[in-house]
Amino acid sequence: MLLLNGPSSSGKGSIGRALLPLLPDPWFLVPVDVISGLRSTVHTRQLTKDEIAEMLTRTRRGYHRAVAALASQGNDVIMDYPLSEPWRLTDLLEVLTGYDVTLVEVRCSEAELERRERARQDRPLGLARSQSVFEHKDRDLVVDTTNQTPEACAQIIAESLEQLDTPKAFDRLRAAAS
């Protein structure tokens, strides 16, 4: 399993798509946006801020378990997912116990993130800057999309997979949390 962790607009999805032809078949790219996009945006009543937060937490917990279900059947999965809240990592460490997870930090300069957010027009401006996705301070690989293409970053990841130190970041983070 590969977990591409970075702020919104950092290039996680583009790297994930570029990785698919570089990895031995079959790998599944499962971005959290696919799951989030399945929820209804039409409501019979206005949701409160707390109800929205609760719904988003349930959605993200469901995403963790959907990815684990795919992996439990022997599927290789690429997650495009920002670890922007500490509970997300804590939950994933538990849900993905026993799986080989490679944690990839996807970096990008703030100026480039803001440029991409403006160009995309599907994210609130400032979202990327607000996400604290690297607070856990451990990872297996780092790629920077500021000046590298998604294809170049995907190549770095694909070539590095067999040479990573063990235990991997998820195992180290799990051990530190115990």
What are the CA-CA distances from residue 89 to residues 84, 95, 97, 134, 137 (Å)?
A: 9, 10, 12, 11, 12
d(CA 87, CA 97): 15
Output the CA torsion sign for 153, 171, 175, 53.
Answer: positive
On whether the pTM is more than 0.85, the answer is yes
Alpha helices (H) along 100-178 = 110-120, 127-130, 150-160, 169-177
Residues 35 and 131 sit within 8 Å (Cβ to Cβ): no
* 50 is known as an active-site residue: no
Give the pLDDT of residue 41: 55
Q: Which residue, among 154, 162, 108, 100, has the nearest Cα to 131 in the 3D structure?
A: 108
What are the residue boundaries of the structural domains of the chain, listed by start? 2-177
State the amino acid at position 70 in one-letter form: L
Give the pLDDT of residue 48: 85
d(CA 114, CA 140): 26
CATH class of 2-177: alpha beta
Residue with tokens 């990815």: 67
Catalytic residue (one of 33, 138, 144, 171): 33
Give the pLDDT of residue 137: 82
d(CA 46, CA 41): 11
d(CA 16, CA 13): 5
Average pLDDT by consecutive 10-residue portion of the chain (178 residues)? 91 96 93 69 72 87 96 96 91 96 94 81 62 76 96 97 91 91
Residue with tokens 């991997």: 168
